[in-house]
Amino acid sequence: MPFAADPARYDSMPYRRAGRSGLVLPPLSLGLWQNFGATRSFETQRAIVLRAFDAGITHFDLANNYGPPPGAAEETFGRILATDLQAYRDEIVVSTKAGYLMWPGPYGDHGSRKYLLSSLEQSLKRLGLDYVDVFYHHRPDLETPLEESMGALTTAVEQGKALYPAISNYDAARTTAAAELLAAAGTPLLLHQPRYSLFDRTPERDVFGAVERAGAAAIVFSPLAQGMLTDRYLDGVPEGSRALTSAFLHESDLSEDVLATVRSLNDIAAGRGQSLAQLALQWVLRNPVVVSAIIGASSVAQLEQNLGALDGPELAPDVLDAIDAVLADRRRP
Ligand SMILES: NC(=O)c1ccc[n+]([C@@H]2O[C@H](COP(=O)([O-])OP(=O)(O)OC[C@H]3O[C@@H](n4cnc5c(N)ncnc54)[C@H](OP(=O)(O)O)[C@@H]3O)[C@@H](O)[C@H]2O)c1
């Protein structure tokens, strides 16, 4: 059956403007880091992406190395684009990145012009696209002059292979310097992508301020701390969960202390008639510099639940205080 998108898909999604740009993004974006490689069912992956699009999620976040194996997530998304979403290309924002190891030898990693522009070329082939909407430098590279990395992003935009430049995992000082270089080149910084959740508030220190001053927006990753800020692990570690299948989350991360905090947060969410995942997403989105939270999902049911965050009851000051109190009590391993 050819896919026909829901005509009501734009009726209720509260799009937000990304900084001082002309681009609006959905408050929830779908990330394809871990569940869209070659080791998962294509039909499930397709169902998640199409349900997201039908719900008004217009933004899909990828990187050269997402898989497994690296490159596979872009291939999966390219396949869905070709079979189902071709007619909707102009309604979709596709982001990709380069900055981590992608191919052997000295030119397959970090932040040189050589690496960034050849990686973008490879990403476009895997995605089956002429351009991506957003191209990121995925992590800072202290060995390469920032002028060179930002110059490569500007070149990508000038060549029409990306519409907007972006950075990820940069500290505040480097964010400011990158934004200045990009602005001077006439290709202003659109987005900074840091990790941000109830369990990692680091960007509140100075990165968010730098992003705001640059006129850019923050789009945050792992807002559910890879599933820890959900009910996923409250009754043990389920078969097939990320804690058992991924190199990036381990059973040992789920200490009794962590689970005690999760339970307290879960109680606050339950008192509001919502799930912990919904509360955790609403919480990151309370910050006006955050244009969108990039969620991962391994099933349509998770995605559906997470969309419910957009209809949650207001986060009143007493709820924020109760959350802060739980986090202050958190015992660190
Ligand atoms: N720029 C960077 O350096 C960087 C780094 C990491 C991620 N990212 C981006 O951010 C995206 C999101 O990261 P993430 O996957 O870590 O995000 P996340 O939303 O914090 O975690 C997603 C995982 O949480 C679990 N989950 C989600 N919703 C759930 C629900 N309602 N109930 C129970 N469990 C639920 C699922 O785990 P199971 O798989 O166990 O079901 C899912 O795979 C990535 O896809 C990527 O696009 C960027």
- Indicate if ligand 1 lies below 6 Å from the C-beta of 34: yes
For residue 222, report the distance from its CA to the centre of ligand 1, in Å.
5
Q: Is the model's pLDDT at 315 over the cut of 80?
A: yes
Please tell me if the CB atom of residue 58 comes closer than 6 angstroms to any atom of ligand 1.
Answer: no
Has residue 76 got a pLDDT over 80? yes
pLDDT above 80: residue 1: no
Confidence of residue 331 (pLDDT cuts 50, 70, 90): low
Q: Is pLDDT above 50 for 262?
A: yes
Ligand 1, from 94, 198, 224, 249: best to mutate by most atoms within 8 Å of Cβ? Answer: 224
Q: How many percent of the chain have pLDDT more than 90?
A: 97
The confidence score (pLDDT) of residue 330 equals 81
**Percent of the chain scored above 70 by pLDDT?**
99
CA of 298 to the centre of ligand 1 (A): 8
Cβ of residue 280 lying under 6 Å from some atom of ligand 1: no
Q: What average pLDDT does the segment 308-325 reach?
A: 97
pLDDT value at position 146?
98
Position 329 scores a pLDDT of 87
> Atom 37 (ligand 1): residue with closest C-alpha?
227
What's the gap in Å between 33 CA and the centre of ligand 1?
8
Is residue 76 lining ligand 1, measured as CB closer than 6 Å? no
Predicted confidence (pLDDT) at residue 332 exceeds the cutoff of 80: no
- Among protein residues, the one whose CA lies closest to atom 7 of ligand 1: 221
Question: Distance, CA 103 to ligand 1 centroid (Å)?
Answer: 25
Can you tell me which atom of ligand 1 is nearest the CA of 62?
47
Q: Using CA positions, which residue lies closest to atom 40 of ligand 1?
A: 241
Quick one: pLDDT at residue 53? 98
For helices 256-271 and 317-329, what crossing angle results, to 10°?
A: 170
Tell me the per-residue pLDDT of 13-68, one tens digit each, with 9 for 90 and over: 999 999 999 999 999 999 999 999 999 999 999 999 999 999 999 999 999 999 99
With a 6 A CB cut-off, is 296 part of the ligand 1 pocket? Answer: yes
> Over the stretch 171-187, which tens digit does the pLDDT of each residue have?
999 999 999 999 999 99
Tell which wins on pLDDT, 329 or 91: 91
**Where residue 333 falls among pLDDT bands split at 50, 70, 90?**
very low
The rounded Å distance from CA 223 to ligand 1 centre is: 7
Mean pLDDT, the chain, rounded, equals 97
pLDDT of residue 322: 97
- Between 157-161, 291-295, 326-330, the lowest mean confidence (pLDDT) is in 326-330
pLDDT of residue 73: 98
Ligand 1 centroid vs 154 CA: distance in angstroms? 30
Identify the pLDDT of residue 145.
98
Q: Is the pLDDT of residue 108 over 50?
A: yes
